[in-house]
Amino acid sequence: MTNSLPMIDVRDISKTFRLHLRGGAELPVLRAASLQVAAGECVTLHGASGSGKSTLLRSLYGTYRPQQGHVRLRHRGEMVDLVTALPRQILDVRRYTLGYVTQFLRVVPRVSTLDIVAEPLMTQGNDEAEARRRAGELLERLGIAGKLWDLPPATFSGGEQQRVNIARVFAAEYPILLLDEPTASLDEANAQTVIELIKDARSRGTAIVAIVHEPVTRAAITTRLVPVAELGEAA
């Protein structure tokens, strides 16, 4: 199941937030942190609130720009360093390689649920019919009734929105997935579906980094539990 192809190679990254509005106060969060993840692995980050789990995940997505170190991801057969990549290279990595399930769905006004889920597939160049078919499959599997597909998810419940979010990212079958509490607001049945989706992804060779508090999901998906505090020098 696990092969050794390195997908994520984080080397010695440091991230300090400088808060200009609070007199330039410095908030060091990561210091010389390193992490390697291979294809088919699911690494779950562990640590107290404020230990840097989210900072690491956002650095992996390219949203946070570490002051030092490298965040290399396997993209189109090469390791691309997000720390030095050009913005449009990062966008290309996100389009084809890197999926991120955030805690909350960022709702785009008026866009239907089906289109939201199909969008990443379409930006990858799939034709519209195929993208919608796969989007429908995922929504069905996650228990979003067909009658809701034409509606924008703005008025959906938290759990429904989260399932739309998950469908959107899993439909595109990215080789690298970042998951931030993917099952937090789901009932047991839906959580079970997400666990299956994650397992399916792993068996395809997807490298996964997750933040999961909920013990059942964590136990079900994790291949390696990594305490963030031990990734580098103590911050």
Partner 1 sequence: MSVIERPLLAVENLSKAFGARPAVRDVSFSLWPGEVLGIVGESGSGKSTLLNCLAGRMQVDAGRIVYDTAAGAPIDLVTAAESARRHLMRTEWGFVQQNPRDGLRMDFSAGANIGERLMAIGDRNYAQLRSTAESWLSAVEMPLRRIDDLPRTFSGGMQQRLQIARNLVTRPRLVLMDEPTGGLDVSVQARLLDLIRRLVQQFQVSAIVVTHDLGVARLLAHRLMVMKDGMVVEEGLTDQVLDDPQHEYTQLLVSSVLSA
Q: Which of 63, 124, 155, 157 binds partner 1 (CB under 8 A)?
A: 63
**Residues 78-117: x where in contact with partner 1 by CB under 8 A, - otherwise, as a string:** ---------xxxxxx---------------xxxx------
Q: Which is nearer to partner 1, 88 or 147 (CB)?
A: 88
Task: For residue 125, state whether it binds partner 1 (rule: CB under 8 A).
Answer: no
Contact status: 62 vs partner 1 (CB under 8 A): yes
Q: How far is CA 206 from CA 42, 109, 141, 226, 232, in A?
A: 8, 31, 20, 18, 25
**How many Cα neighbours within 13 Å face the side chain of 142?**
33
CA distances from 91 to 60, 105, 148 (A): 13, 19, 30
Any contact of residue 153 with partner 1 (CB under 8 A)? no
Which positions from 22 through 61 interact with partner 1, judged by CB under 8 A? 58, 61
Nearest alpha-carbon partner for 14 in 61, 43, 52, 54: 52
For residue 30, how many other CB atoms are within 10 A of its CB? 26
Name the residue nearer to partner 1 (CB basis): 90 or 194: 90
Residue in 31, 64, 99, 167 binding partner 1, rule: CB under 8 A: 64
Interface positions with partner 1 (CB under 8 A): 17-21, 58, 61-65, 76, 87-92, 108-111, 123
